Amino acid sequence: MMSMRDRFNAFLDLPDTPVSSAQSGPLAGMTLGVKDIFDVAGYITGCGNPQKQAESEPAATTAPAVQKLLDAGARFVGKTQTEELAFSMLGQNVHFPHPVNPAAPDRVTGGSSSGSVAAVAGGLADIATGSDTGGSIRAPASFCGLVGLRTTHGAISLDGTMPLAPSFDTFGWFTRDIELYERVGTVLLGPAMSAPMPIRPLRIEALDSLLMGPDEAAEYRRIAKLVAESIGAPREAAPPSQSIDQLYWAIRKLQAREAWDAHRDWIEQPGRQMGDAVLQRFLFGKTVSDADMKAETALRAAFTQWLGDLLGDDGVLVMPTVPCPAPKSDAGPQVFSDFREQAIRLLCWSGLSGFPQITLPLGTVDGAPFGISLLGPSGSDMALIAIAKRVLADTRHA
C-alpha cells in the first residue's frame, strides 16, 4: 500500500485494507510498518514466500504485540518485506526487489527484518516491527544506523507470529530516535521493566578480536572509548569455558533444527520454490540429530548460567554488534558467507542466553554505519534503552 512512494523497496505492494488504531495514546501520530511474519487482521501473512502468500487466508486477528502498538495510537501504513521464512541475515529475498539501505545505498540492509529497517531508516515509517532470532534486529540496525534491541526471550508475546526457531525468536522494533524507541518499549514491555539499574561495564577481549579488519578495529576502539566515557571503563572479564566456535555450532544446530521442525511439513511438499541459500539452512537442520540437540542444549544451559553469573543484576557487556559494516550489495556469495560466519559468533551470545542486547549507532566505517552493543541481564531491556539514551546524549554533547 506504500509502493508508489517506496523508493527503498521496504513495503509489500498489497491491497489497502483498513486497520483501526486508537486516536490517542503515547504513540498517537506515529506511523507503523509491520514485518510480514506478524498477523494483521485482514492481511495475509506471506512470510517472504509468494507460494505461502498464495496459499494463506487473511488473518482474522492481529498479533497481540502489534495490537498493543495500534492501541497506543500508532497508525498502520503497510506490511514490510522480510527474508524468506525469516531465515537470512542479509536482506536479499530472491522473490522480491531487494530493500535499499538508506544510510549506505550500495550496501545490504541486513535481514530478515530488511523492509522494516529500510522503512524506518528511509523515513517511510516512524516505527516498524521486526524479529530477532539470530540477529535480525541487531544486524540491520547496525547496518542502517539505527538503535536496535533484541529483547529478553519471552518478554513480548509472539502469538500471531510465524515461528522460526521458537526458543530463539524475539519481537523487536526500529525507530529513528531513542526517545521514541523508549516510548515503544514502555508500551510493549510495561512500566514494571522500567526501573533503573546500576551499571558495571564489562568487556571480553575474545569478542573484540572478532572484528573483520583494521578499520573496524580502529573505529571500534574509538566508539568503545565514547561508551566508557559515558558509563565507565569496562573491566576485563575472562571468557567462558565454552569456545567461540562451540557457541557458534550450538546456535547453528539448535536454531536450524528448530526451524526445520517448524517448517518441514510445508517445505517437503512437492514443487516448493525457495531460494537455495535459505533452503540449504533448513536442510542443514534436517541433519541435526536428537543427540546433537541434547548435547547443544546442555552446552547452552551451561553458557547461560555462566553469563548470568557474570552479569548478575548490574553487569553490562560492551561488545561489537557485528564484525563489520554492511557488505556491499553485489559482494557475492563468498563475502556474504564470511560475514555470516563471523557475525554469528558475536550475535549468538544474546541468542543462546536469551538475554537482551541493544546496538547503538555510534560508528562509521568506509562511510557506512557501524554499531556497538550493550548486553545486559535477563529483564534489563528498558534499563538498556535508558543506558543507550544516556550514551547517545553524552556522545552528542562530546
Active site residues: 35, 112, 136
Q: Which residues does residue 94 pair with via DSSP β-bridges, in sequence order?
A: none
Grid cell listed for 318 = 560492551
Closest CA to 2 of 313, 371, 364, 11: 11
Closest CA to 81 of 41, 42, 122, 29: 122
- Provide the strand spans (E) within the chain: 31-35, 75-80, 127-131, 148-150, 171-175, 200-203, 235-236, 315-320, 357-365, 368-375
Bridge partners, 31 (sequence order):
75
Q: What is the DSSP letter of 274?
A: -
Report the C-alpha gap between 188 and 364 in whole angstroms: 30
Torsion angle of C-alpha atoms 205, 210, 215, 217, degrees rounded to 10? -10
